[in-house]
Structure 1
Amino acid sequence: MAPFWIWQQPDWPNFSWNAEHLAPLLRECVQAQGRLMGMASSVGASLSAQSELDALLQNIVTSSAIEGEQLNVGSVRSSLARRLGLEQLDGNHVSQRSEGLAQLMLDATQHFEEPLTLERLLDWHAWLFPDQDTALATRSMRVGTLRGDDPMQVVSGRLDRPTVHFEAPPRHGLERQVDSFLDWFESSRNQTGLDPLLRAGVAHFWFVTLHPFDDGNGRLTRTITDLALAQGEAQAIRFYAMSASILEDRSGYYRVLENSQKATLDITEWLAWFLQTLLRSLQQAMTRIESVLGKARFWQAHRQSGLLAEQTKVLNRLLDGGERGFEGGISAAQYQTVAKVSKATATRHLAELLEKGCLQRLPGGGRSTRYRIRHPDDALT
């Protein structure tokens, strides 16, 4: 009988791929990675720390969202911020769940030089599901240990007629399978001819196919991916969140995994999807950092402009959102709403911002007059 699941192939897990097919996409990712690192190096320490916090937070929240779990963003942010030394917060403001997730992410990224052992992996799983969380403690699930003897399947549809999308390797021999993965993960760090980005893609696919735990396999898989990427870049600071890009194409993520897990050991299709998703996350990070740099340049240019609190509020709103919500520029009426001032005051404030070079008037007149940020490097009009 022909193998149905990829792990039933006789040569499992000797993966292969079409390097020539992947080469252009891999080159794009490497170039984008280099540009992002260059941009990040030009960001000041305080802005760099904030950008890293934002990326880590986005990674944690979206990785859970892929599994359908909505986290308390404020609680996770507080846990991360305290660990990064950005602010001191009352411990009552965070949950054990948030603490565990923050500890997991920072252990993977800040301690990227440490080997990934079974003991470390089991600790990660325990942090993912802290015993103190009563909502999780009521579930019948092994925490900090490999899964039980029941078949591990990913299913959907009716209970009486489920659709099996994937079945993981059986429990018997799972320790040996996990050990093989961990041995490869360590030895492949210095493997000649294996690009670090492809290594991260292979690690992602291999571990999620093993599915070694009762729950949390997807989140630990993406944590291992972050670890592999940090190792490839040889730096702990993270400026992009790949989980966010996976969430954007969640259906595509599950589809390509299912197709590849039912196919041969040639995982070119998976690696192509992985690199495309990674490239998108790198590009989005560059856009965010450019926005951070642009905002810093703007306030540096206007540090002595003597702006009112209401004016600063509106300008920050425009700068933080990339003028999102004001794609056609902000009108006097919108200024009035955001700043909570009268119509006459809004008109006066806008005139002052024009005079000080903070805003520029867009074509049009009368009630349709709109304004947008004038960046320091904008050509004078």
Structure 2
Amino acid sequence: MRDVTWIWQQEGWPAFRWRDDVLAPLLRACQLAQGRLLGVAGAADADTDARVELDALLQNIVTSSAIEGEALNVGSVRSSLARRLGVDEETASRTSARSEGLAELMLDATRRYDDELDLGRLLRWHALLFPPEAGLLTRNLRVAALRGDEPMQVVSGRLDRPRVHFEAPPREGLEQGVAAFLAWFAASRRDTSLDPLLRAGVAHFWFVTLHPFDDGNGRLTRALTDLALAQAERQAIRFYTMSSSILDDRSGYYAVLEASQKAGLDITPWLEWFLGTLLRSLEKARGDIDRVLDKSRFWQRHRAQELSAEQVKVLNRLLDGGERGFANGISASQYQAVARVSKATATRHLSDLLEKGLVERLQGGGRSTRYRIATTGAGSDA
């Protein structure tokens, strides 16, 4: 394997540079999207805010672990979050030490954004990632402690011809490296010349390059990024998830990290990728909130309608849209499956919803007849 000069071996490390002219358009787009998202969220009531935040935090935790190849018990994590957020859930799953630790870590990073980030707090976060009762310690992993003396490498390929994607700075001097990062993280928050969104991108890259722990570095880096973004907005409530967008482009994430960690101190390509991913996160979250608000307004308009539990269930699925909903409308047979009713009952329920103006019939007929949420406003103030 050819010799590689890692970024932490560059003279001047970690004095990162970037090209403002390249990043300026993306940065403006992120700032505008951030403002629009917070504006839309401001129109929601407290209950809607809490449920949107619960969904965003849940997605953040689940996808951050999925980036590392770990599948979590979604119901357990949701219940752990819901209890902490004070959100009533119709059905609650049994929680675990794992879900409790992950929920505590995420809320500490986002709700306590004004608290100092010091080594002690980082070590507590690491302990929350690996609670002993969760049965995760299958190897000699140092928990709540910096990594050991062994070389820290990310390697793939054959044992006799390995490909080293990344090598972290040596253990000697790691305490000083982490201390320098933490000092910068505190001081940069008061640096008016550094945009807060760029600061989040720099923090992400710097910390993941330090790789200070035996395991969990990626998840802690993304939690730290959430902290930096919460500080940028001065808002504890989270409406979007960076981890989900990173998972959508996981190969791109690792590719740009590897290229940047093998390059000089100019990290413009990394920051370009980071801002582009942040922009997609913000835009997706705005669409999600719009759907939640539309759903809330729909039920407010139709609050006087007498509906069966099955009708309410199906209407909510239609209103959810996306993966949970029916983008092309719902047929009688699909209604039957979702509501778990007979064919005759499904037909009767749909006819009733049509008469009340809650759904409308799409083009087509016979067995292929499909229905969607009414857009005409008929019966909206019944």
Residue 221 of structure 2 corresponds to 221
Paired residues of 1:335 and 1:346 also in contact (CA < 8 A): yes
Residue 34 of structure 2 corresponds to 33
Task: Look up the equivalent residue of 1:314 and give its one-letter code.
Answer: V
Aligned counterparts of 2:51 and 2:66: Cα–Cα separation in 1: 22
Residue 243 of structure 2 corresponds to 243
| 1:52 is aligned to 2:79 | no
Please list every run of 5 or more consecutive structure 1 residues that lacks an aligned counterpart in the other structure. none
Residue 76 of structure 1 corresponds to 77
Residue 19 of structure 1 corresponds to 20
Task: Look up the equivalent residue of 1:219 and give its one-letter code.
Answer: R
Which runs of structure 2 are paired with 1:1-381 in the superposition (5 Å)? 4-87=5-88, 93-136=94-137, 138-322=138-322, 326-375=326-375
- Tell me the secondary structure at the aligned position of residue 371 of structure 1: strand
- Residues 330 and 224 of structure 1, relative CA distance in 2, 3 Å threshold: same
Please list every run of 5 or more consecutive structure 2 residues that lacks an aligned counterpart in the other structure. none
Instruction: Measure how far apart 1:88 and its partner are.
Output: 9.2
- Tell me the secondary structure at the aligned position of residue 221 of structure 1: helix
What is the aligned residue count?
379
Task: Look up the equivalent residue of 1:350 and give its one-letter code.
Answer: L
Q: Deviations over 1:72-124 (max 9, x none)?
A: 11111121112222249999922111111111111111110011101111111
Paired residues of 1:15 and 1:267 also in contact (CA < 8 A): yes
Query: TM-score, normalised on structure 2?
Result: 0.94
Q: Deviations over 1:36-89 (max 9, x none)?
A: 101111111111111111111111111011001111111111211122222499
- Residues 65 and 304 of structure 1, relative CA distance in 2, 3 Å threshold: same
Paired residues of 1:333 and 1:343 also in contact (CA < 8 A): yes
Aligned counterparts of 2:250 and 2:78: Cα–Cα separation in 1: 24
Query: TM-score, normalised on structure 1?
Result: 0.94
Quote the sequence identity (%): 69
- Tell me the secondary structure at the aligned position of residue 4 of structure 1: coil
Aligned counterparts of 1:324 and 1:132: Cα–Cα separation in 2: 34
- Tell me the secondary structure at the aligned position of residue 352 of structure 1: helix
Of 321-330 and 163-172, the range deviating more from structure 2:
321-330
Instruction: Measure how far apart 1:345 and its partner are.
Output: 2.8
- Tell me the secondary structure at the aligned position of residue 101 of structure 2: helix
Task: Look up the equivalent residue of 1:248 and give its one-letter code.
Answer: D
